[in-house]
Structures are given as C-alpha cells and as structure tokens.
Chain A
Amino acid sequence: NAGVTQTPKFQVLKTGQSMTLQCAQDMNHEYMSWYRQDPGMGLRLIHYSVGAGITDQGEVPNGYNVSRSTTEDFPLRLLSAAPSQTSVYFCASKWWNGELFFGEGSRLTVL
C-alpha cells in the first residue's frame, strides 16, 4: 500500500493564479481531509469528506474548494491564490477506528 499520496510536493504560484493539490489514498478510507500547517498555529482543518459526494467545511475553508467523486481521490482547489495561502498542506484519511494517516505534504508559496 502506498498510503496517502500528495502531489505536487512543491509549488510556486503568483497571486491570482489557480491550482489543484492532489490527494489519493489506497486504503479504502471513507473519511479524507485537508489541513494547512503554519508556524506557531498548528494544523488547521480546511475541508473534509465522509464519503464520495459528501464534503463539509472545516475551520479555515475560505479560498479553497473541494469535491469527492471517488473514494480514492480528494483534490483541493485554490481558485485565486493569495500570499496568505502560503503554507504547507497536508491530506489525511481516517481508518475505521479513528486513526488518522497523513501524506508527506505539499509546500505552496504564493508570490
């Protein structure tokens, strides 16, 4: 099993550009989620999904969009990137017992 796979690992954008961070898991987990990690602020939940076709907002959803068309994939879209979205983004999925598994992260810089 590859676990949770995130692409790209690094990305530089200009203000106003759009992009999609990809997340895929091969553990057949129903629950998937996106976090951002900023210095001194810990991980904050952006969006999550409890199954295909079902998504919901977390603590910091503004400026981000998600969809869940399959169990395996949960992409995160930045519609118009802003410097405040410079961060490290993590995707995580949850096993039936509640245990979270994380990807390696995607480091995004918005100029």
Chain B
Amino acid sequence: KQEVTQIPAALSVPEGENLVLNCSFTDSAIYNLQWFRQDPGKGLTSLLLIQSSQREQTSGRLNASLDKSSGRSTLYIAASQPGDSATYLCAVRAANQFYFGTGTSLTVIP
C-alpha cells in the first residue's frame, strides 16, 4: 500500500523567507503528484500537478519538483507572505486511487 509522508507537520517562518515543504512516498509507480492548499474549514485548492514524466512545475512563486525514483517531491515557496498561511497537502495517483499525506501547516509571520 502506498504511504505518503509530509514532514514537518507544522512550520512557522517570518514573512519574506523562502521555504521548502517535503513530500515522500513509498511506491514509485505513480501516474502523477499533486500539491494542494487547504484553508481552515475549506476544501482543497489545486496548486500544481506534476506528471510522472516531468521533473518540475512552476506557478508564480511556487515551484514543485518530483524525483520519482527516490520517492520525493518538494514544494518551494519564494518570498513567503502572510496570505500563504494554510495547510499544504500532497497526493500521489496510482491508477484510479489517490493517496494523501497528512499535510504541513504553514504559518507566515508578518
């Protein structure tokens, strides 16, 4: 069974800092990996999708990388802002099932 781990569970940084969130998975046979943002009491918002054949994807201040062979992905957030405070989750897709990490709760301090 696929296991997805996100470390750390919580992270607090001062505004303006660049930061990296980590996601690891145990089975490298994945179709893709997706990063989400979840605000308290809300649904999940898709941030970036990386197909298994890709190494990275970028959107604005966000950059996600994928190393399938080592079972790792990172989400890089540049010049963090208080509005970036949220929980960030990663998910891997294997056929018709998706497996989620428990997320990293990010707080950006003004």
Q: Are A102 and B44 in contact (CB under 8 A)?
A: yes
- Count of chain B residues near A, Cβ 8 A: 23
Q: What string of 1s and 0s marks CB contacts (under 8 Å) between B10-54 and chain A?
A: 000000000000000000000110101000011111100101000
Q: Are B32 and A41 in contact (CB under 8 A)?
A: no
Number of A-B contacts (CB under 8 A): 56
A42 is contacted by which of B43, B96, B103 (Cβ under 8 Å)? B103
Chain A residues with CB under 8 A of B34: 98-100
B75 in the interface (beta carbon within 8 A): no
B contact residues vs A (CB 8 Å cutoff): 4, 31-32, 34, 36, 41-46, 49, 51, 89, 91, 93, 96-98, 100-103
Chain B residues with CB under 8 A of A102: 36, 43-46
A1 in the interface (beta carbon within 8 A): no
Select the residue from B4, B51, B100 with max chain A CB neighbours within 10 A. B100
Q: List 16 A-B contacts (CB under 8 A).
A: A31-B96, A41-B102, A43-B44, A43-B91, A43-B100, A45-B98, A48-B96, A50-B96, A56-B96, A90-B43, A97-B49, A100-B98, A101-B46, A102-B43, A104-B43, A105-B41
Q: Size band of the A side of the interface?
A: 20 to 34
Q: Are B31 and A42 in contact (CB under 8 A)?
A: no
Closest to B46 in A: A99
A8 in the interface (beta carbon within 8 A): no
Q: Are A99 and B96 in contact (CB under 8 A)?
A: no
Q: Which 4 A-B pairs have the closest CB atoms?
A: A43-B100, A42-B102, A102-B44, A102-B43
CA distance A90 to B46 in the complex (A): 14
Q: Are A45 and B97 in contact (CB under 8 A)?
A: yes
